[in-house]
Every structure is written in C-alpha cells, then in structure tokens.
Structure 1
C-alpha cells in the first residue's frame, strides 16, 4: 500500500492508475488526511465464470398470454 498526496495523484494519474491496475493499492491524502483508497477493480464475471452458467428458462405451458393479460385487466 502506497500513500500519495492529492497533487501527486492529479499530476501523475495515468501512472498511478497503471500501478493500481497491476495490483497496487493507493491511499490519496489531502492536508495529511486520507481522502480516498484506490484499489484494483474486481471483475465478478471473470472470477465467478458467470458467463459459463446456463440461463434460467421460464416455460409456462397451455396458458395463453393474451387471455392472462385480459383476465388481469378485468380483475383490476
């Protein structure tokens, strides 16, 4: 974890964000007080492989959608 002041962050944002992208954690200070903690972003899609899981299917058999809609409208 590295501590940097706000002016340094503003002037070297690209370099600092590249370091964060590589895994480094930065604490941004202003007037000696921490104002931000910059950490690498987590990517839940890659970590959990959610894209590999099959999507849920919702199947309703022998029920007409239009009749269901009309029934709901008349009961309201």
Structure 2
C-alpha cells in the first residue's frame, strides 16, 4: 500500500545571481556533471538548475520515440525495395 520513494542526494552549489551571470557556462558544466546549482537573489533562493533525468521510453510521447523500420519479407524472398527497383526498371518511360 505504501510507495517507496528513493531520493538521490546530489552535491549542491549555491551562487548569487551576479556570479551566475558572470559564470553561466561554468555553472552549466557543473550541472552536466551531476551537481545542482542554486541561484540566490538578495540572499534568497530563486531558482535551482538540476541535471536532466532521462525519461523512460514508455513515458515519451509517440512522436519522440525512435522509429524502427518495417521488416517485411515476401514469400518469393524479394524485399519491398527490390520490388520497387524492378518496377522502375520495367517501366515504359
């Protein structure tokens, strides 16, 4: 009945807004390495940059899922690509 939740503790780096503006690229590098960056304005936290968690494939919308080519084999052993090439070669034009 109870759901187990596992929280992962990541290192956190706290910076002021002016420091973040001056070193935005370095802060993003820290986030890429797995750290969380907390941004302060006038000493109060206003934002946190956290690493992106990859979504599970079943939670991705259908238009973002990878497309796998259709594998269709005819009884005579020819692929659909071969049938198209044969049709083009035998065309009258």
**TM bin (shorter chain):** 0.5 to 0.7
Residue 27 (structure 2) aligns with: 16
Q: Structure 1-normalised TM-score?
A: 0.58
Listed as ranges, the matches of 1:65-76 within 5 Å are none
Residue 50 (structure 2) aligns with: 39
Q: Give the superposition deviation at 1:2.
A: 1.1
Please tell me the root mean square deviation across aligned C-alpha atoms, in Å: 1.8
Structure 2 spans left out of the alignment, 5+ residues: 1-11, 59-64, 69-93
Hey, what's the Cα distance between the residues in 2 that align with 1:15 and 1:2? 12
Q: Structure 2-normalised TM-score?
A: 0.48
**Structure 1 residue ranges (4+ consecutive) displaced by more than 4 angstroms after TM superposition:** 49-52
- As a proportion of its length, which structure holds more helix? 1
